Amino acid sequence: MTKLDTLEAIDKAKNSHIKQMEKIEAVLNGASVENPTTVSKMKCDFGQWLYGEDREMLEHILGTLFYNELDEAHEDWHKGYAKIHALIFHEQPKGFFTKLFNNKVDPLNIDKAKIYFMELEQVTKKLLGILEKSKRRMSALNESKFI
């Protein structure tokens, strides 16, 4: 993992979480989504990078405390998102009435999810801030730390 690869991965992580928030907001405004974001922090694109094969090197470069802060913020994001996911993307029975009513989400669930979304926006700001600090930290390091 080179310095450039790491900086690009951080940018990708930031953009990914921004897109996830846009996707969630679209769903809350009535759009349908084919592939909702995974609830698992380990399976999203960012999680695969953060906990993947370069995890030890990443933790070494960032420092354990900073890495743990990033991990905690990422986990908090997924916990907040899980509340929304449970309300919006829960499995519905495939019976006659479900087909008849076109798999619409209960309006009460939408209202609850919008409240959780406002909380998730705050968690997202924190996560994006930590990612930005990570990028600055990585930018300041010498290339030799990445090999």
In a domain, 68, yes or no: yes
Domain range for residue 69? 3-140
Q: How many CB atoms lie within 10 A of CB 106?
A: 11
- Distance between CA 121 and CA 27 in Å, rounded? 15
Q: Is residue 146 part of a domain?
A: no
- Look at residue 99 and tell me if it is in a domain: yes
Total domains in the fold of the chain: 1
Tell me whether residue 145 is in a domain: no
| 114 falls within a domain | yes
Q: Please, is 104 exposed, middle or buried when counting C-beta atoms within 10 Å of its C-beta (0-12, 13-18, 19+)?
A: exposed
Tokens of 58: 């990443």
Structure tokens at 75: 């986990």
Integer Cα distance of 17 and 45 in angstroms: 9
- Which tens digit of pLDDT belongs to each residue from 67-96? 999 999 999 999 999 999 999 887 544 554
Sort residue 30 into left (φ over 0), alpha (ψ -120 to 50) or beta. left
**pTM beyond 0.75:** yes
For residue range 51-61, list pLDDT tens digits in order: 999 899 889 88
Residue 100 has pLDDT above 70, yes or no: no
Does residue 78 lie in a domain region? yes
**Would residue 147 count as lying in a domain?**
no
